[in-house]
A and B are shown apart, each in its own frame.
Chain A
Amino acid sequence: MSEILLEARSLTKQFPAAGKKTVHAVSGVSLQIREGETLGLVGESGCGKSTLGRLMIRTLSPTSGEVLYRGQSITAMKDREFMPLRRELQLVFQDPYASLDPRMTVRDLIAEPLETWHICESRNAVTARVLELLRAVGLPEEFLRRYPQQFSGGQRQRIGIARAIAADPSFIVCDEPVSALDVSVQNQILNLLKELKASRRLTFLFISHDLSVVRYLSDRVCVMFLGRICEIGTTEEVYRNPRHPYTRFLLDAVPVPDPALRGKEIRLLKGDPPSPADPPSGCRFRTRCPFATQRCAAEEPELREIGAVRAACHHVEE
């Protein structure tokens, strides 16, 4: 097995909210990401998946807990110590319309990370490298002097990916990279990410609310609910045999593009997700869970081995 690239140890992130409340975005999350693997992170809006992604690459600092990169705590580092590692830890954003400076040409956008890290010797070398990156993400060379607004969403996302891989990082957080795109274009980007993962030996944390997208790219999947991990395991195991009740409801709720399945009565979850500013005691899923008992209110379930996965539920058996 390859070595552990990144590790989260009891990560907690709280944000102050109006009315002296505290939003518990991420609560005591521990996980490991091995070199070369893609870990999918799924959950509904407000479950803390984006916050966790940002904590992992130190664009946010945790309230408590720490993140280790190749065994070294990046949480405790001074900014100056961390600087060289920034190059290793990159991010692809959701909105390809908001994440590219409209006044920069494609060349300058992709050259920016190269210049920041002094990767190339000369201006010409930078341009040559930019052209190489354009090819790698499937864009024609004549885009070099154009501006982002001249491109479609899919083309912009390719530019965003070229920026992220420009400095040869080892780890990339992809935060909903295809949710702003149309179906026919979404698949093109997913294929590209899969290809880059193989050709550049990249490790991904792939965040999405879309379960089929996560399934396609991920080796392992982590399901979050209200700041905590419900279930984590290999993609095949989690999708084929979900253990945690929330994972089961989540998989059930996805509308299947097959009208023949319409008659099948789907089980609906009651109500809305609870507020992260006021999470329930014990198991955070219990207010929506049909199997909840008194124990769930009193005692917070720990992640434990259940068959081939790990899940946090008092009532799931082998």
Chain B
Amino acid sequence: MEHNTLEVRGLTVCFQTAKGAVRPVDDVSLKIPQGSIVGVVGESGCGKSMTARAVMGLVRSPGKITGGSVTLDGRELTSLPEKERRKLRGAEISMIFQEPMSSLNPVMKVGRQVAEAVRLHTGCSRAEARAKTLAIFREVEIPEPEARYDCYPHELSGGLRQRVLIAMAAVCRPKLLIADEPTTALDVTVEAQILKLLERLRDAGVSVLLISHDLGVIARVCDYVYVMYAGRIVEQAGTGVIFDRPQHPYTRGLFRSVASLREGAETLETIPGVVPNLLRLPAGCSFLMRCPSCPARCENEIPPLAETEPGHAVRCFLAGKEGAT
């Protein structure tokens, strides 16, 4: 039986605002089998980053986890006291962000920043921490690691900074690495290198949760994909399956938009309308306003996430009923 490094069940994050309660993450369940890269894809505001923060235990007030569970290797995280969680972060779960500059201390040499993380979590000596840092720098292919050790973040290129962050995240051999848009701020030729690096970590047994808006990135490295829309998962399947036969009208629209651009269509496919305001979600399906075919039922009832084939689930009443391919 496959072992799941991370299991998230019914996770809900709620923000009380002056205008009412919003749920950027609404009843999200996902799992990451050990040694795999699982992708969460969706557009800005769909809740993908908030899901990652909730797993890390980094939801800030006024946001609150109001339901569900998060387990890492079977251990429940949501009920852990903050002190315990802090020990976990950086040791068992690590996270890297989109903009590497804002995650690094600008006035501290990058080598020391990584070494400090090592000492914090392992309590080893300075010399050992330095040796471990240099080893991980080599592993993530930072050229001339000794020289880079004494560089400040501003002296490094964007690609190198992201490598330093990945080194920092990976140095304690975490079970789970969360990568939130890790290549969005990078150039394509550098992006390809960073994706390769994530795959190498995966092959070394690290489970990766990759958050991205870029279907190309998802297709290249993910084993399994969750699609989020307005706080909910609307479709999930193996990467090959979801690219081959997407079922949810949102997923299809998204894939068609990207495909028409790639194929150089005369007029590009679009999804009409805009993402709904989370304060004014319809009572039923949240894709309702933009959906090309919605029966009356969608207005009042939230469709369940139902399996259409093994390992492929869709949140749509029409899924699998129209002989869609």
B-binding residues in A (CB < 8 A): 44-45, 152-155, 182-188, 190-191, 194, 209, 211-213, 215-216, 249-250, 253-262, 266, 268-269, 271-273
Please provide the chain B residues from 153 to 183 with a CB less than 8 Å away from any CB of chain A in the complex: 157-160
User: Given contacts A187-B269, A212-B261, A271-B143, is CB(A254)–CB(B216) below 8 Å?
Assistant: yes
CB–CB B192/A268 < 8 A: yes
Measured in the bound complex, the distance between the Cα atoms of B98 and A263 in whole Å is 26
Measured in the bound complex, the distance between the Cα atoms of B255 and A184 in whole Å is 9
User: Given contacts A272-B159, A273-B187, is CB(A154)–CB(B243) below 8 Å?
Assistant: no
A258 cross-chain contacts in B, Cβ below 8 A: 219, 243
Q: Which among A190, A212, A253, A260 is the interface contact of B189 at CB below 8 angstroms?
A: A253
Measured in the bound complex, the distance between the Cα atoms of B187 and A254 in whole Å is 10
Please provide the chain B residues from 177 to 225 with a CB less than 8 Å away from any CB of chain A in the complex: 187-193, 195-196, 213-221
A-binding residues in B (CB < 8 A): 43-44, 143, 157-160, 187-193, 195-196, 213-221, 239-240, 243, 253-255, 257-262, 264, 267-271, 274-275
CB–CB B192/A183 < 8 A: no
CB–CB B219/A257 < 8 A: yes
Residue of B with least CB distance to A45: B187
CB–CB B214/A216 < 8 A: no
User: Given contacts A255-B216, A257-B219, is CB(A154)–CB(B274) below 8 Å?
Assistant: yes
CB–CB B191/A253 < 8 A: yes
CB–CB A262/B187 < 8 A: no
Nearest 3 Cβ contacts at the A-B interface: A255-B216, A44-B187, A182-B43
B158 cross-chain contacts in A, Cβ below 8 A: 45, 272
List 19 A–B pairs whose Cβ atoms lie within 8 Å, in order of A's numbering. A44-B188, A45-B187, A153-B44, A183-B258, A185-B270, A187-B260, A187-B270, A190-B268, A211-B188, A250-B188, A253-B188, A255-B191, A255-B192, A256-B220, A257-B216, A257-B262, A262-B219, A262-B221, A269-B192
CB–CB A184/B216 < 8 A: no
Q: Which among B214, B219, B260 is the interface contact of A259 at CB below 8 angstroms?
A: B219
Measured in the bound complex, the distance between the Cα atoms of B41 and A183 in whole Å is 12
CB–CB A250/B274 < 8 A: no
Measured in the bound complex, the distance between the Cα atoms of B239 and A190 in whole Å is 28
In the assembled complex, the CB of A245 is this many whole angstroms from the nearest CB of chain B, namely 12
B264 cross-chain contacts in A, Cβ below 8 A: 215-216
User: Given contacts A272-B159, A272-B160, is CB(A184)–CB(B271) below 8 Å?
Assistant: yes
CB–CB B190/A272 < 8 A: yes
CB–CB B268/A184 < 8 A: no
CB–CB B216/A272 < 8 A: no
Most buried by B among A155, A209, A261, A272: A272
User: Given contacts A187-B269, A188-B270, is CB(A260)–CB(B216) below 8 Å?
Assistant: no
CB–CB B243/A187 < 8 A: no
CB–CB A257/B243 < 8 A: yes
Other than A185-B274, A255-B219, give 4 A-B pairs with Cβ distance below 8 A: A216-B264, A259-B220, A259-B243, A266-B192
A266 cross-chain contacts in B, Cβ below 8 A: 192
